[in-house]
Amino acid sequence: KQEVTQIPAALSVPEGENLVLNCSFTDSAIYNLQWFRQDPGKGLTSLLLIQSSQREQTSGRLNASLDKSSGRSTLYIAASQPGDSATYLCAVRPFITQGGSEKLVFGKGTKLTVNP
Amino acid sequence: GAGVSQSPRYKVAKRGQDVALRCDPISGHVSLFWYQQALGQGPEFLTYFQNEAQLDKSGLPSDRFFAERPEGSVSTLKIQRTQQEDSAVYLCASSLRRGLQETQYFGPGTRLLVL
């Protein structure tokens, strides 16, 4: 059974700092990995999607890497801002087993606070 | 250009009550997912529809949980005889097509509290 772990559970940094969020998964048989942002009382917003054949994806100040063989991904946030404060969730899309679906398997998230 | 909407946004139920949660996916989206997110946890898969067909219900925790999407658009998640452990945020997501490359777009969720 695929399990996704995110470390740390919570992180507090001063504005302007560069930071790294970690995600690990137990089964490397995945199609892709996504990073989401979740704000209180709101749904999930997709930030980056990395296909299993890719090593990294970049969007603005965000860079996500994927090492499928070791079961790890990192989300790098450059020059953090107070508006980056949110919970960041990592999710993998496992290979479809017979009768399965395109569900996502999520970690518990990292709660990020960026202090002005 | 509306996104995924869910109603109600908040629901308080007494233990033993039945509840119905509604999801309006993005117009034209074929795939629809329900997830359950307990406090401090990540979302956990409940069930998946492709149009009106429920292709995967392996995540439904008990036979008290039932989901339908009769016309391939709006979906309803029904929970019978609610228990305190059912308290969670229920998230709905949709994607345009069936496919592993497709991004899932999430609604704001329904926060259910069972007293």
Q: What is the pLDDT of residue B89?
A: 96
Residue A91 with chain B: CB contacts under 8 Å: 42
C-alpha span between A24 and B100 (Å, rounded): 20
**What DSSP line would sit under A49-107, residue for residue?**
EEETT-SEEEETTEEEEEETTTTEEEEEE-S--GGG-EEEEEEEEEPPPTT-----EE-
Q: Which two tokens stand for residue A79?
A: 């020059």
What percent of chain B stands above pLDDT 90? 86
Q: Is the pLDDT of residue B85 over 90?
A: yes
Q: Give the length of chain A.
A: 116
Q: Residue B100: which of A31, A42, A107 has the nearest Cβ?
A: A31
The arithmetic mean of pLDDT across residues A69-92, rounded, is 96
Residues 25-54 of B with CB under 8 A from A: 31, 33, 35, 40-45, 48
B109 touching chain A per CB within 8 A: yes
C-alpha span between A114 and A101 (Å, rounded): 37
Q: What is the pLDDT of residue A47?
A: 95
The arithmetic mean of pLDDT across residues B55-59, rounded, is 91
Q: Give the length of chain B.
A: 115
Q: What is the pLDDT of residue A101?
A: 64
CA distances from A53 to A35, A47, B1, B13, B34 (A): 16, 18, 32, 46, 28
What backbone phi and psi angles, to 5 degrees, belong to B70?
Answer: -60, -30
Q: Is the pLDDT of residue B99 over 80?
A: no
Q: What is the pLDDT of residue A43?
A: 85
Q: What is the pLDDT of residue A116?
A: 95
B16 touching chain A per CB within 8 A: no
Peptide bond into B108 cis (omega under 30): no
pLDDT band for position A100 (cuts 50, 70, 90): low
What's at A84, amino acid-wise?
Answer: D
pLDDT band for position B103 (cuts 50, 70, 90): confident
What percent of chain A stands above pLDDT 90? 78
Q: Is the pLDDT of residue A92 over 90?
A: yes
